Amino acid sequence: MSPEESLSWLGREREERALTLCDEHLSKVVEVADSMRKTFYSFAEDGEEVASHTRKVLEGEKEADQKKAEVLKEVSAGTLSRVSREAIIRMIITADDIAENARAAVEKLSFLDPEDVDEDVRVGLKEISDYACQTVKLLKEAFSISLHDNLEEAINKTEEIEKMEEKVDHFRAENLLPKIIEWTNNSQNPGNSILVMEIESNIEEVVDNTENSADIIREIVIGTL
């Protein structure tokens, strides 16, 4: 094997390891998103398990950070092509933003008493957190499928993510935001109102970063066709 062939082989092997670590990172991100969903479900009902689910989000986000560090260490070795390195780095950082926003949402939620928030708003936050979790799970499916060379199916999954993002936008505009605005106007509690708006924004960022990650997967897949 010539030196050039050796470098090419090492590059492919390192790329495969990095992509496998990305897949493991996304598994952690899914766990974070699911714990976030459970946190909002508890908040909408009785609030008794909000603290325990919040802890799981925080722990999961730390574990996702550790996986991100492993990926970045792998791609920093120098044997990957510039295109592969840039795509993997963008993928891991964008996906990590999903977990960070999920963490931010539940941390802010911990400052609220469920009894101080209108039931319709609590239910709306529960529903949008459910949509966000579904979207993140689709992202994990799309990435895992792409690793097994089912490229067209992976692209189809990314298109499902785009449709889900549009569904979330419609739900926010037609359902959740009007309820939040009505409650804000009636509650006359600016502190709680600001927190709820920021929480809603964090959940929206979970979905937006998921769509951005899907765009990167689509870019990687199309580049291999």
- pLDDT of 78 reads 61
- Each residue's pLDDT tens digit, 74-102: 888 766 666 678 888 999 999 999 999 99
- pLDDT of 220 reads 81
Q: State which residues form the domain around 217.
A: 3-224
- pLDDT of 51 reads 96
C-alpha–C-alpha distance, residues 104 and 200, integer Å: 11
Supply the Cα-derived Rg of the chain in whole angstroms.
Answer: 20
CA terminus-to-terminus distance, the chain: 27
Long-range residue pairs from 70-75, CB within 8 A, at least 24 positions apart, any chain: 70/21, 70/25, 71/18, 71/21, 71/22, 71/25, 74/14, 74/17, 74/18, 74/21, 75/14, 75/18
Q: Which residues contact 157 (CB under 8 A, 6 or more apart)?
A: 138, 141, 142, 145, 214
Q: What is the total count of domains within the chain?
A: 1
Left, alpha or beta for 40 (phi > 0: left; psi -120 to 50: alpha)?
alpha
Token readout for 33 is 């998103």
Residue 222 burial by CB count (10 A; 0-12/13-18/19+): exposed, middle or buried?
exposed
- Each residue's pLDDT tens digit, 6-35: 333 334 666 788 889 999 999 999 999 999
C-alpha–C-alpha distance, residues 110 and 68, integer Å: 26
- pLDDT of 5 reads 38
- pLDDT of 1 reads 41
- pLDDT of 84 reads 73
Q: CATH number of the domain at 19, please.
A: 1.20.58.220
- pLDDT > 70 in the chain, percent: 90
Which parts of the chain register pLDDT below 70?
1-14, 78-83, 223-225
Nearest to 67 by CA among 28, 12, 16: 28
